[in-house]
A and B are shown apart, each in its own frame.
Chain A
Amino acid sequence: DIQMTQSPSTLSASVGDTVTITCRTSQNIISWLAWYQQKPGKAPKLLIYKASTLQSGVPSRFSGSGSGTEFTLTISSLQPDDFATYYCQQYNSNYPWTFGQGTKVEIK
């Protein structure tokens, strides 16, 4: 199975900050990586797929980059609605698909 290492596990930031979350995979997954946002009691929401493609309706302050085994999610000018937990997920053609452990973005 492909292992996911997401960091940091917690991130404290202020409104207006730019934050970056990193996801590393144990094998080359080309660009088969997604980023999700989850708020308490809710389902995850897709933000980015194919490593860098912004899902329809998602604000442009969210961006993704990377390929192979190292990927990043960047949130520019953090807004109050962005305080949540973020997960990466690989969906390479080989099953099983796996998720990172999550990064909680907290208010500093």
Chain B
Amino acid sequence: QAQLVESGGGVVQPGGSLRLSCAASGFTFNRYAMNWVRQSPRKGLEWVAFIRYDGGTEKYADSVKGRFTISRDNSKNTVYLQMNSLRLEDTAVYFCAKDTTQLWDHDAFDMWGQGTVVTVSS
């Protein structure tokens, strides 16, 4: 069945970097925009980044703009989140999430991964 599986989380010091991956299966990946959403007790659910189905458009939350980069490899059915200059407040569970409607650019998220934990700590 269709699923998203994240990986790449871990513990990193402030100022460090991590790269998250989200492997998709069971649906036509290159027809759907993808997102990263994070959740922490302090800030709740927070949308982080969006990438269009063809990779042609990227959008970011102000809190991560200039530090995080979303990308996708449609040949590998995978979306990535490169996180640089990590801060204590980036500590959260990171989910990848799929748009509901194919070939669209602002949508609800009908499929989520299980989440990967990122801890920024000295």
Contact = CB atoms under 8 A, between A and B. Distances in A.
Which bucket holds chain B's interface residue count? 20 to 34
Contact of A44 (B59, B61, B107, B112): B112
Contact of B106 (A1, A45, A92): A92
Contact of A43 (B46, B47, B106, B115): B115
Given A43-B95, A46-B100, A99 B46 contact: yes
A98 interface: yes
Interface string A17-49: 000000000000000101010000011111001
Contacts of A45: 112
A5 interface: no
B61 A96 contact: yes
Interface string A73-100: 0000000000000010101110111110
Nearest to B114: A43
A50 B47 CA distance: 18
A104 to B, nearest CB: 12
Interface in B57-82: 59, 61-62
A61 to B, nearest CB: 19
Nearest to A45: B112
A42 B45 CA distance: 13
Given A99-B44, A99-B45, A99-B47, A43 B112 contact: yes
Nearest to B100: A49
Interface of B: 44-47, 50, 59, 61-62, 95, 100, 105-110, 112-115
8 contacts: A43-B113, A50-B108, A89-B47, A89-B108, A92-B106, A93-B106, A96-B62, A98-B47
